[in-house]
Each structure stands twice: as C-alpha cells, then as structure tokens.
Amino acid sequence: MKKIMTQEHLSIISKIVEEKIYVPEIQKKVTVFLCGADKNDASTGRYMMANMLSKHPRFEVHYPEDLFDDLLVGKNQHSLLSLENILAESVDVIVLFPESPGSFAELGAFANNPTLAQKLICLPQKKYKNKKSFINYGPNRLIKESRTGKVIDINYNDFGTPDEAEKLYKRVNAEIAKIKKKHPVNKNVGNILEAEYFLLPCIYLVEKIDNVSLYGILKAATQKDKSLCEIATKCALSRLVGQRLITRTLDGYTITSEGGALVRKKFDNKNLDRVRLEIMNYEMRRNSNMTRDRLIAAHL
C-alpha cells in the first residue's frame, strides 16, 4: 500500500527541487502583461502588439484571461482587485490598449493602484487624445502623474506600415526599459509566472499529487503567504493543464508524456531518476524513511 506523504516530506522535496533541480525560466525574459480587446481578433491593437513582440524572443507575453480567469469564477473566486499586488510583483510591464469594455475596467483598476500605474503603458487611439472623456481625465491622468507610467497616443493603423511600426516598437521598448530598470522584478520561484516551471518537476517526482499538497510545496519553497501560494499554484496548474503537460485525475495531478519529455529535456535525467527512485522507495516500502540527507545523497 502506498504511504501518504506528510507536510514535512513535501517540504523536503520542495527544497531539493528548489536547490538542486529547478531552473528559472523567465529570468532573462522581459515579461509583458498585455491587455486589450479579444486577443484572437486580428484587427485589434492588442493582437498587433502581440504579433510585433513575438518577433523579439526576449519578450514573454502573458494575458489576463490565461492567468486569472480560473481565479475570478467559481466557488473560491478572487476579485481582480485582490490579484493586483500579485501582478505588480510578477511582471516587468503592463501594456494596455483601451479598446473594449473589459480593457476600460482594467485600465481604471490598474491606474488607481499606484504600484501598477508605475508599470503601465497605455496606448490609446490618437484620434481620442483631446476628447473630454473619463479615460483622459481619470486613468490616463493618474498614469501620467506616476513616476514611470506612460500614455502613448498612437494610430493603430501604424502597425500595418513597416517604418511606422518600427518607430512604435522603439518607443514602447524604450519605455519598457525605463520601467524595468526603475522597478526590477524578482524572477525566482516566488514569482507567479515562474511557479509552473517549479511545480512541473515536483509533479514529475510525486505522481498523483493533489492541489493542497502542491500549495504546501510552493509555500515551503517561497515562505510566502498561504493565499498567495494558492493563487500562484492554481494559475500554474491551469497553464500546465492547458499546455497538456499535466493531467488531473481523481487521485491528483500526474505528468503527461509531453510533460515528462519536457522535464527530462530541461533537467538532468540521471539526477531526476535518482530522486524519483528514492521517493518511490519511501512510498512503497513499509520501513523506509525519507530525509533531506537521503534525497541530497540520491541527487549527488
């Protein structure tokens, strides 16, 4: 009969993965939280900006619906406002196109958060620059009053003209560099965007692990607030399932063949197998024990 792991055991595994196995993924990336209209609508500024940034490998683009949708609905829902500070600690910059009702709401919420306003680049249509509107008199004014936030009025049609598009890219890139320098982000296991890369090898090592155990593993690694760890874990699991790297069963989360291949490619196969063997030895053998020293010895 398979033995149940205690929180102490999960904490040991967490530290071993953090110290010996985990490799930060976004450390050298510029993380952009891109907001606007439907991301699949090719006529929107958001879509065209995503296409522009995709030509530069150093950028990693994230969308609010991908990160937060699962957290904003359901039984244990969180409000967008409760996620703002997590967002501020996670991404280098927020680029927002006020071109839909949802993006208007995001603009208002982000501009009213002083920390987020400093990381916000708003790109409204130039034709509305002098309009007497709530956006111009409210959120945009707050962004301009922040130390590093920026409002850049543009013509969305410029994306279709190579020379104008290049000028726009250089202008936005320059503002991103200023924000990134002034407000550096820690890109370690505590970053919500990094959690999935930490949890994936954990799921590989501990098969059929439930979400509560994963909360504990992330908390042990980051020493952060329980609620934050739950949010980061839920986001990570949603993304990993969406990428078909893990699957959820009645017994917990398990690695898929694609996920296993990625883990073995990204990390050292021999060391992973040694740690996995040690964990299986504990789970299956009645008198076996699992300690930090045994796992470290297995990894060396």
Q: Is residue 1 part of a domain?
A: no
Q: Are residues 140 and 239 in the same domain?
A: no
Domain with residue 234: its CATH number is 1.10.10
Query: Using CA of residue 98, residue 99, residue 104, residue 106, what is the dihedral sign?
Result: negative
Query: Which of 11-25, 119-133, 176-190 shows the lowest mean pLDDT across its residues?
Result: 11-25
Domain boundary, last residue among 126, 160, 182: 182
pLDDT at 193: 84
Contact 115, 88 (CB under 8 A): yes
Residue-wise pLDDT for 176-230, tens only, equals 999 999 999 988 887 888 889 999 999 998 888 999 999 999 998 888 878 778 8
DSSP 8-state symbol, 154:
B
Q: Kindly give, in sequence order, each residue whose CB lies less than 8 Å from that of residue 272, ignoring residues fewer than 6 positions away.
A: 21, 201, 204, 205, 263, 264
User: Which residues span the domain enclosing 251?
Assistant: 7-25+189-299
CA–CA dist 110, 113 (Å, integer): 5
Q: Pairing between strand 59-62 and 30-35? A: parallel
Distances (CA, A) of 122 to 86, 117, 147, 153: 20, 10, 14, 8
Last residue of a domain, one of 152, 182, 212: 182
Q: Are residues 167 and 68 both part of a single domain?
A: yes
**Contact in structure between 94 and 36 (CB atoms under 8 Å):** no
Count up the domains in the chain and report the number.
2
- Are 62 and 206 within one domain? no
pLDDT (0 to 100) of residue 99:
93
Flag the least confident range among 18-22, 47-51, 154-158. Answer: 18-22
Based on the fold, state whether residues 81 and 154 are members of the same structural domain.
yes
Average pLDDT, the chain: 84
Of the three residues 161, 182, 203, the one that is the final residue of a domain is 182
